[in-house]
Amino acid sequence: MESKSNYWKFGAMIGTSMIVMFGLMYLNTYALEHVRWSETRFYMTFIMGAGMAVVMLSFMLSMYKDSRINLAIFGGSALVFLLALWLVRSQATVEDRSYMKAMIPHHSIAIMTSERAGIKDVRVRKLADEIIKAQRREIKEMDWLIRDIATNGPATTEAEAAARPVPPFEGKLDPVVPSGSQVAEQ
């Protein structure tokens, strides 16, 4: 019976770690309001959990003596890994709004990296500033599109898109980036 409870603890450890890892994947977003649900990050959590289950069980096989359960864990982990990898690579379940919800934190990472990197070359700084402005503008566009599609449905023809044009948005730089270097407002 002790052996079976170890497997339950193992499963709880993997499950808890997966929940924590999912949350940790959002720590590199620039702003809390940029955190959105991401199917891709959700699937990546299963890839990491499956990989972690195999690695941890391999290191602790001496503690887990039931070869049938061990094989089931290895086999199940391989299946979960492959299915989650297919979902990540194919993007089969991702539609318009979920695509943009996943892209907002991705863009936010680019803002944070571009603002906070210790960039010395003025050409690279200029490029980083352009990236910041573009990412901020695109986040605003995606937020607007998410709301519009939720309210009116997708614009599936050019005529529908022309009837509901995306308003012009502007991406701006912060006057001083957190690293302390000055960024010219443009």
Determine the residue type at 5. S
Residues 30 and 101 in one domain: no
Angle between helices 67-90 and 39-59 (to 10 degrees): 150
Residue 118 covered by a domain: yes
Residues 44 and 29 in one domain: yes
| Whether this model's pTM surpasses 0.85 | no
Residues 75 and 103 in one domain: no
Residue 184 covered by a domain: no
Residue 173 covered by a domain: no
Residue 15 covered by a domain: yes
Q: Dihedral through CA 111, CA 117, CA 119, CA 124, nearest 10?
A: -30
C-alpha–C-alpha distance, residues 41 and 27, integer Å: 12
Select from 41, 73, 90 the last residue of a domain: 90
Indicate the range of 24-38, 40-54, 77-91, 120-134 predicted with least confidence: 24-38
Residue 177 covered by a domain: no
Residues 126 and 154 in one domain: yes
Residue 178, pLDDT above cutoff 60: no
Question: What is the pLDDT averaged over residues 87-101?
Answer: 94
Residue 112 covered by a domain: yes
Question: What is the pLDDT averaged over residues 4-29?
Answer: 92
Residues 44 and 103 in one domain: no
Residue 60 covered by a domain: yes
The residue range of the domain holding 134 is 96-163
- The count of structural domains within the chain is 2
Residues 20 and 52 in one domain: yes
C-alpha–C-alpha distance, residues 121 and 94, integer Å: 38
Indicate the range of 37-41, 150-154, 159-163 predicted with least confidence: 37-41
Residue 48, pLDDT above cutoff 50: yes
Residue 169 covered by a domain: no
Select from 90, 116, 137 the last residue of a domain: 90
Share of the chain above pLDDT 70, in %: 92
Residues 86 and 6 in one domain: yes
Residues 33 and 85 in one domain: yes
Report pLDDT for 5. Answer: 83
C-alpha–C-alpha distance, residues 41 and 142, integer Å: 18
Select from 90, 123, 140 the last residue of a domain: 90
Residue 71, pLDDT above cutoff 60: yes
Residue 57, pLDDT above cutoff 90: yes
Residues 29 and 74 in one domain: yes
3-state secondary structure of 140: helix
Residues 17 and 46 in one domain: yes
